[in-house]
């Protein structure tokens, strides 16, 4: 037994190209494919918008005397999957930022000679005092982390996220 329709048995005639895909059928696949891509893009945008900033819990980072002025210390905050950098600026001020560059997520490093945070992937430069973009492809400042000194140790208090840099 074959699955061919009755009319095919009654009229066993074939024509050239009858098994080929028509333009309309072809474009139907295009609509499905294009719609799938569009749904994926909208889903990514929704996910990006709806995820909330994890403010984190206060956590001890390091003893202050282990981070002399003009040096930096790498740590993780607010979770162990979030790289962060503590900078002890010349003059004594402490600043902490997310280590993820706001361009494409590479990690930034402290340049003590210029008091800048440098992203080696695409030569992005951020001001180490406030995380503001100085040059390169990044368009947004680094995420800030509020820190304070308690009993000779530096504590991360809260993840502030990206906010307008205040000079």
Partner 1 sequence: MTAPLPTPRGRRRERDVPVAVGVFVAVLLALQMFLLTVGLDAFLADDDALAWTTAGFSVLLAAGSIGFYRYLR
* Closest distance to partner 1 from the beta carbon of 58 (Å): 23
Confirm or reject binding of residue 144 to partner 1 (CB under 8 A): no
Out of 56, 73, 87, 102, which residue is the one contacting partner 1 (CB under 8 A)? 102
* 87, β-bridge pairs: 72, 95
Q: Which of 73, 88, 95, 103 forms a contact with partner 1 (CB under 8 A)? A: 103
Q: Helix, strand, or coil here: 161?
A: strand
Nearer to partner 1, 67 or 165 (CB): 165
Cα–Cα distance measured from residue 121 to residue 4, given in angstroms and rounded to the nearest whole number? 61
User: For residues 53 and 142, what is the distance between their CA atoms, to the nearest angstrom?
Assistant: 14
Residue in the block written with tokens 């982390």:
145
Cα distances (Å, whole numbers) of residue 162 to 32, 54, 63, 85: 38, 12, 26, 15
Q: Counting contacts by CB under 8 A, is residue 79 touching partner 1?
A: no
Q: How far is the CB of 129 from partner 1 (least distance, A)?
A: 22
Asked if 121 and 104 count as a contact pair (C-beta separation under 8 A), the reply is: yes
Which of 41, 54, 114, 166 contacts partner 1 by CB under 8 A? Answer: 41
Binding site for partner 1 (CB under 8 A): 23-24, 26-28, 30-31, 33-35, 37-38, 40-42, 44-45, 47-49, 101-105, 139-140, 162
């Amino acid at each position: 037994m074959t699955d061919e329709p009755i009319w095919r048995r009654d009229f066993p005639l074939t024509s050239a190209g009858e098994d080929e895909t028509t333009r309309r059928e072809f474009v139907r696949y295009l609509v499905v494919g294009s719609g799938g891509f569009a749904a994926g893009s909208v889903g990514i945008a929704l996910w990006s918008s709806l995820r909330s900033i994890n403010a984190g819990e206060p956590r001890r980072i390091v003893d202050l005397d282990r981070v002399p002025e003009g040096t930096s210390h790498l740590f993780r905050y607010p979770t162990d999957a979030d790289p962060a950098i503590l900078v002890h600026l010349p003059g004594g001020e402490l600043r902490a930022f997310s280590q993820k560059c706001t361009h494409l997520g590479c990690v930034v490093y402290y340049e003590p000679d210029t008091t800048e945070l440098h992203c080696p992937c695409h030569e992005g430069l951020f001001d180490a005092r406030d995380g503001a973009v100085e040059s390169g492809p990044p368009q947004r400042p680094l995420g800030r982390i509020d820190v304070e000194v308690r009993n000779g140790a530096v504590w991360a208090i809260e993840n502030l996220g990206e906010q307008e840099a205040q000079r």
